[in-house]
Amino acid sequence: MMRWVFAALVLANLGLLMWASWYRESAEGALPARPVLRPELMVPITTPGVALRTRRSERVDPPLAPTKAKRRCVALGPVPAGVAEPAAARLTADGIETARRTEERQLPASYWVHLAPYATRKAAERRMKELARLGIRDMLIMQDEQGKYAISLGLFVQPDNARARIEELKQKGVEARQEVRERAESVVWFDLQLPEPADAAVTRLRGLDWGAGVELRDAECPAEPTR
């Protein structure tokens, strides 16, 4: 009797072990259920308010950095400081980006024809009497920049008049010299940055009347600020 009870318990344990192994394999190999398609609930992507969503498995490339527009840099000047404002207003009206800079320059103010130097005033007076005997007029004794005595034979604004006076004296055997006297003047340069292509804009700017001696020339663009 005990043998039959023992055999029954062994068979029961074997059956339980086989059932447990079969259930685990079935659970691991089971396929996920497919979603149920409902055509009546589908909405076209062209419907207003519908936004597309990116799947998590899809790779999204980062946006490209915007490329900087090419530019051409030119300099306009020199414009006398006293008349720079109208030029600036014209550039601003055209929507041109400008930077203004001021510099000093030396300009001829007058042309001095004279004889110099003389050690003393009496030496200058003796020479002036000799010139008078040659028929030369319009003379004056004055001091030059070094403080030495000179015989002034004319102060001219136009260089042609100064050269004519020197030629007149030369014909009478007098070798006079010319000294250019200068004056300081403030002038303005406008540094412009034009978007490419800029040939048409440069041609138009060069065709405008900016005043005597004003030019438009190519310049080096300033370096971009580092971040």
In a domain, 21, yes or no: no
How confident is the prediction along the chain (227 residues), in pLDDT tens digits per residue?
566 555 666 566 666 666 556 555 555 555 555 655 566 666 666 666 656 565 555 566 666 555 667 899 999 999 999 889 999 999 999 888 889 999 999 989 999 999 989 999 999 999 999 999 999 999 999 988 888 999 999 999 999 999 999 999 999 999 999 999 999 999 999 999 999 999 999 999 999 999 989 999 999 988 876 65
Q: Are 75 and 179 in a shared domain?
A: no
Same domain, 137 and 156: yes
Residues 193 and 102 in one domain: yes
Per the structure, how many domains does the chain have? 2
Residue 205 counted as domain residue? yes
The one-letter amino acid at 70? K
Same domain for 167 and 122?
A: yes
Query: 94 and 196: one domain?
Result: yes
6 falls within a domain: no
Same domain, 176 and 77: no
Structural domain boundaries, residue 115: 107-183
Residues 118 and 167 in one domain: yes
